[in-house]
Amino acid sequence: MSGTLRKYLLLAAILIGSTFLFVSGPDYYSSRSVRALWDLGHILLFGLITYFLLSFSQWLRSKPYITQIFLILLFTFFTGVATELAQLDTNRTPELGDLLRDLLGSWIVLVFYQGRNLKYAKVMHLFTVLLIGMALWPLGRAVSDEWTAKKQFPLLSDFETYFETDRWEATAFKERSMQYAAHGSYSLKCRITPQKYSGFALKYFPGYWQNYRYLNFRIFSESASSIRLHCRIHDEHHLKNNQPYNDRFNTVLSVEPGWNNYRLSLEEVKRTPEGREMDMSRIKSLAFFVTDLTKPAYVYIDYVYLN
């Protein structure tokens, strides 16, 4: 391939890649692996930009290697900051992690392309491989648990595998705990507070519930008195319909001290939305929250499954 053709192909790839910095990308309910893969695009884009600069800037190539590193990383830093700030006017959210991935993309090319023949290259290569491993860790973690979740289904969560806590979100605090367990050795410990809508939610899970009759789960409360815990379930249509209250399943659970066993009828869940049936093949969220708590409390959820 001629140098001119390679130059224009690289420019085209950089221009196309740059547009993805300002488009919406994965949404709130996209899978963890898709979100992690999307984030890795920063590494590829700035790797291409650095390769382009080192390949076609004679001025830059004439500088000592340490100067090249300084100039490229400085350029990447300010360009990365500028693009993150520019996202304030879009539906994207600026993230420090994106800036770090920008710098890693440039660093990889500086080390493996420009610095490959240095006498201390092996040390730099090893260090860079470790950085790459750290960058790939969220993707590996997500893929591992998504595979596990599909294998476990219709068990949605029993916290016996390490990455299951990533399926859940909490407004205050969550951790995998051995203190109380209804099934196996672990449960999910969650802190709920007097803040309105304080709670926890199962966000990432297989959503094809159409062939099952019941949703089962167990909740342990450390509180000495009963807690009113709201439970909501919604499907994909609910998200596209501006999420009105009467377009989802809502119920209130009385959580007594100790273990509480719950079984919700999925037929009732299906019939709840006003004017339609919930799409049981596209369930998107199972959430629990409080609205009138007087003081913070800890609850444990375990053995969430369909049957």
CATH number at residue 225: 2.60.120.260
Residue 23, pLDDT > 80, answer: no
Quick one: 191 and 289 in the same domain? yes
Same domain flag for 166 and 278 = yes
Which tens digits make up the pLDDT trace of 194-224? 998 999 999 999 999 999 999 999 999 999 9
Q: Are residues 135 and 259 in the same domain?
A: no
Strand order in the sheet with 168-170: 168-170, 198-202, 283-290, 227-235, 249-255
Do 19 and 87 touch, CB atoms closer than 8 A? no
Angle at 305 between CA 299 and CA 306, to 5 degrees: 140
Q: What is the pLDDT of residues 159-202, one digit of tens each?
A: 999 999 999 999 988 999 999 999 999 999 999 999 989 999 99
Q: What is the C-alpha separation between 276 and 269, in angstroms, rounded?
A: 11
Q: Last residue of a domain, which of 113, 133, 149? A: 149
Out of 121, 149, 177, a domain closes at 149
pLDDT at 92: 66
Residues 89 and 195 in one domain: no
Model confidence at 140, pLDDT cuts 50, 70, 90, reads very high
Q: What's the domain count of the chain?
A: 2
C-alpha to C-alpha distance for 307 and 297, rounded to whole angstroms: 30
On whether both 198 and 297 belong to a single domain, the answer is yes
Q: Residue 211: give the domain boundaries.
A: 156-306
Same domain assignment for residues 170 and 87 = no
Same domain, 162 and 203: yes
In this structure, the answer to whether residues 196 and 137 fall within a common structural domain is no
Same domain, 125 and 190: no
Last residue of a domain, one of 127, 149, 171: 149
In the chain, % of residues over pLDDT 90: 73
Q: Of 232-246, 259-273, 289-303, where does mean pLDDT reach its minimum?
A: 232-246
- Whether 128 and 268 map to the same domain: the answer is no
